[in-house]
Structure 1
Amino acid sequence: MLSRNVYPQTRPGKWSVLLLLAVFLLLIMSALIVQSGQPFNFDTLFDHTRAAIVSLSAVAAAFGAFVVGLYTIFRNHERSVAVFFTVSLGGLVALFVLMQLFL
């Protein structure tokens, strides 16, 4: 009975979990891009265009995971742990971005 509640059962729930996995992969890729450019002494992330694009794609994927997760919880009544975890991490990313913009 526990295994049924851990993994999402609906298609949007699976998409939200896959988007969260994409966030982690994009962040690792961004870190590798920044590390490969270390001899050039970039001051900030946005001095390296490829790393900035990959990092902003990770933030967009986190927002997407948050929105799709909320949709699948309220519309499809998904109650899996993975979807709630996805929504909580996506919500934290959304909160962090909003706090950076407005505070």
Structure 2
Amino acid sequence: MAEHVVAVWTSALDALEAALDEGESASPGSWTPPPVDAPIPAELVARARSIQGRQRSALALVGAELGALRRHRSAVGSVRAATLPAQASVYIDTTG
């Protein structure tokens, strides 16, 4: 039974590591704990914490990149607004 639990958890950790190794460009999915009625074995806790640290680092990097992209988008919008000609003519009703 214990070997089965270790094997299932090892497989789950392998999948998480593969997703991190693949790169942050992959779309994130939701993670479901492996279908085993036992907590993660003690010998795998250090590995799981290492994966968690890598995930947090990746998340922080994505957050920083998102902030930079928002600033760039705002700057592009400001340049467009300042350089594009008026889109419509304006008329004043002088007779009515």
The TM-score range, normalised by the shorter chain, is 0.3 to 0.5
Q: Which has the larger radius of gyration?
A: 2
